[in-house]
Amino acid sequence: MKGVLVFLCLFFLSILHGAYTAQTKQDGMYIVYMGAAPSSKGTKRNDHNKLLSSLMRRNKKSVVHNYQTGFSGFAARLSNEEVKSIARTPGVVSVFPDPILKLHTTRSWDFLKYQTEIIIDSSPSSASNGGDSIIGILDTGIWPESESFNDKGMDPIPARWKGTCMEGHNFTTSNCNRKLIGARYYSGSGSSSQGNGSPRDENGHGTHTASTAAGRPVSNASYYGLATGTASGGSPLSRIAVYRVCTSEGCRGSSILKAFDDAITDGVDVLSLSLGASGGSEPSFSNDPIAIGSFHAVEKGITVVCSAGNDGPDAKTVVNVAPWIITVAATTIDRDFETDIVLGGNKVIKGGGISFGNIQSAPAYSLLYGALAKSDSANVDASDARNCIPGSLDNNTVRGKIVICQNDDGEYSPREKKQSVMDMGGIGIILIDDNARSVSSNYGSFPMAAVTSKDGSEILSYINSTSEPIATILPTKTIGNYKPAPTVAYFSSRGPSPVTKNIIKPDIAAPGVNILAAWLGNDAKITLSHKEPPLFNIISGTSMSCPHVSGLAGTVKSQNPSWGPSAIRSAIMTTAIQTNNLKSPTMTNSGSVATPYDIGAGEVSISGPLHPGLVYETEEIDYLLFLCNTGYNISDIKLIASTIPSGFSCPTNSSEDSISNINYPSIAISNIQENKSKKVTRTVTNVGEDESTYTVLVDAPTGIKVEVVPNKLQFTKVNEKQTYEVTFTVTSTPNDYTFGYITWTNEKYRVRCPFLVST
């Protein structure tokens, strides 16, 4: 019987995007869905048990996962005929393919501290460092021996923790401690090379993200001397629970959903997922295991933080866009890895990348443009040679030279080009690529540097000016206090959301470029010759920005244990920073001013969220109305949510425009015409001080009139709520979209809500 993985849950009905009630194309991996977790004796429970028993009678090994806490259902291997039959079974909501999602793959915290507008204690208390919060990491596992996960001086594990430390290949319960309090792995997330599963990380990604979020301080950390300093996570006293759902090949949706189900039972406070679909291919909410699992987690009071994706800078590439998720973009920090190129005449070009090449420091090597070393092969054209595509260059011409390669072919990676030149006996490579210059790749012991197009042109001009061009490439060095920073990383996925323009996604930005954090202790791939394996590594991606926000969320939760996920999100968003270390507006990698489609509310502040003054609390009813306004009816929604408020029903005038009114800490208005107005309301909760008054400041762009009523909010006590109304009027049609801010201020707090108006 050909295997098909079918996921049985009772959650999102596929009404809006078409139910997968009968998959007929071919056998494959599937997810079938049934609702919120039923009562112990309810009809749903009986349907679940009957179907599970029936499957196991036919094939005991067919069932892979059973979901019964946060939501109901199970995963099983079935034939296409069984899929069709199950789709018609009472209690089954939908059937959809089980997706394989991908990974979205220190000094960063010091930079954030420097950037913040509120001075914080340099030796924060245990509470402000996340002493009693539990951060769950869904990733590739963990390397428990890393010093970042030691538990020296930590208090006993919180009594509310109900999780476990699973044993597996090269992993025992003794690998867990008062820091790493839980570890699980799932079918399909173990090592194919080992033949069995384990929570142990064999990729490095999970170890890196876990230590970024909550690693203990480790002094003198570096990658072979680069980025030397104390490496620490954002919430160093928070506990870590690891859920291994990924390998280097990807992350199975059924494993992700099982991890959500377990984490809800285990008692985590924050879930961090540096993974997701590719931009432009994100499934609908009804077919998305991250959207499904996170909905139930948020219902249970768990904050869910996800990476925005690495498919930028194109618009509409952001993923993980459900409004109950905190979606994180990636920015740079004030540190550069500089690999200098010295030309004849001692002209220095500041290249980038990480290279430990050991060649002469004086320019002594012939410099060759790839286009001038074209192979005689009839299948090779000038573009191939200019880009140093493997097989396009003449061996004899390249041997003993430093080769200049363009990197605009989009077909071969820099590493493949490096290997090709190495195999031909080349001394080194200068790669002309603006993106490669801004985000450092690791070229190991081979002399290699990336340069901007501008610097590349200067090097080519030098070649053309002399009969014997020479150069050398120096080992990489760390440059601190780099300006401007932050800038938006070129790879960071951008809005608007592919689902709706009426919620701004991403929500927030955080450091995600050249981040140093813990790594495997045996990774030969990044080990330099005649050196011990490094214990820290430098990598980039929204995978790295996500745990910065997860760690901060853990700290905020520990200091404000009664706050729910939306209050924590609001605190992070409304205290964000929109300027760089030159006190100018944050810019994108291309030099334009960053918009909310690039960075959401802005760059995260590490102290502001601890004292936000006011918060926008997005209630469950807001999410229910969101579903109404995206096409679900009340019958569908009752199968989604654990509880529905008495008397709730979808408004008769539900529409996408109404999404703008959910109580979110940003405002998005779409499809507004010139000389027309649209109105939204927001409610804020006072979490600052009794007897406080806030006055509104509006930063509106040309062509948009913004009126806020009332323009002053007066609170008499903490937890009091006040509502205000905003009217947007277009006085002249903007180009596509424009943005601004509504800020509530008093002598102590600044609460900033970004808005975006699109035509």
DSSP conformation letters of 332-348? --SEEEEEEEEETTS-E
Cα separation, 123 vs 458, in Å, equals 48
**Cβ count within 10 A of residue 385:** 22
Query: Which amino acid, one-letter code, is at 218?
Result: V
Residue 410, C-beta contacts closer than 8 angstroms, at least 6 positions apart: none
Among the options 139, 336, 507, 622, which is catalytic?
139
Asked whether the beta carbons of 93 and 35 are under 8 A apart, the reply is yes
Specify which residues 713 forms β-bridges with.
694
By C-alpha distance, which of 404, 393, 453 is closest to 430? Answer: 404
SS3 647: coil
Cα separation, 476 vs 447, in Å, equals 9
User: Tokens at residue 311, please?
Assistant: 């498919």
Asked whether the beta carbons of 295 and 623 are under 8 A apart, the reply is yes
Cα separation, 364 vs 437, in Å, equals 24
Cα separation, 263 vs 254, in Å, equals 14
Cα separation, 29 vs 1, in Å, equals 13
Asked whether the beta carbons of 555 and 129 are under 8 A apart, the reply is yes
Is 139 considered catalytic here? yes
What kind and span of H or E run contains 326?
strand 326-331
Helices and strands (DSSP H and E) totals, the chain? 16, 40
Burial of residue 247 (CB within 10 Å: 0-12, 13-18, 19+) is buried
Among the options 205, 208, 296, 548, which is catalytic?
205
Cα separation, 507 vs 327, in Å, equals 5
Integer angstrom CA distances of residue 342 from 346, 351, 472, 475: 6, 10, 5, 11
Cα separation, 143 vs 157, in Å, equals 20
Query: Which amino acid, one-letter code, is at 477?
Result: K
For the packed helices 107-115 and 542-559, what is the interaxial angle rounded to 10 degrees?
60
Asked whether the beta carbons of 427 and 359 are under 8 A apart, the reply is yes
Cα separation, 14 vs 632, in Å, equals 9
Asked whether the beta carbons of 215 and 231 are under 8 A apart, the reply is yes
User: Tokens at residue 274, please?
Assistant: 């540096």
**Cβ count within 10 A of residue 113:** 14
Q: What values do phi and psi take at 628, rounded to 5? A: -55, -45
For the packed helices 542-559 and 565-574, what is the interaxial angle rounded to 10 degrees?
110
By C-alpha distance, which of 135, 109, 105 is closest to 122? Answer: 109
Cα separation, 264 vs 361, in Å, equals 57
Residue 438 gets which letter from DSSP? H
User: Tokens at residue 142, please?
Assistant: 């963990």
Among the options 420, 543, 545, 550, which is catalytic?
543
Cα separation, 710 vs 722, in Å, equals 10
Residue 683, C-beta contacts closer than 8 angstroms, at least 6 positions apart: 616, 617, 663, 721, 722, 723, 724
By C-alpha distance, which of 600, 595, 610, 603 is closest to 578? Answer: 603
Cα separation, 745 vs 741, in Å, equals 12
Strands (E), 163-280: 180-185, 218-223, 226-231, 239-244, 246-247, 250-252, 270-273, 275-276
Around 220, how many Cα atoms within 13 Å sit in the side-chain half-sphere? 0
- Which residues are marked as active site? 139, 205, 543
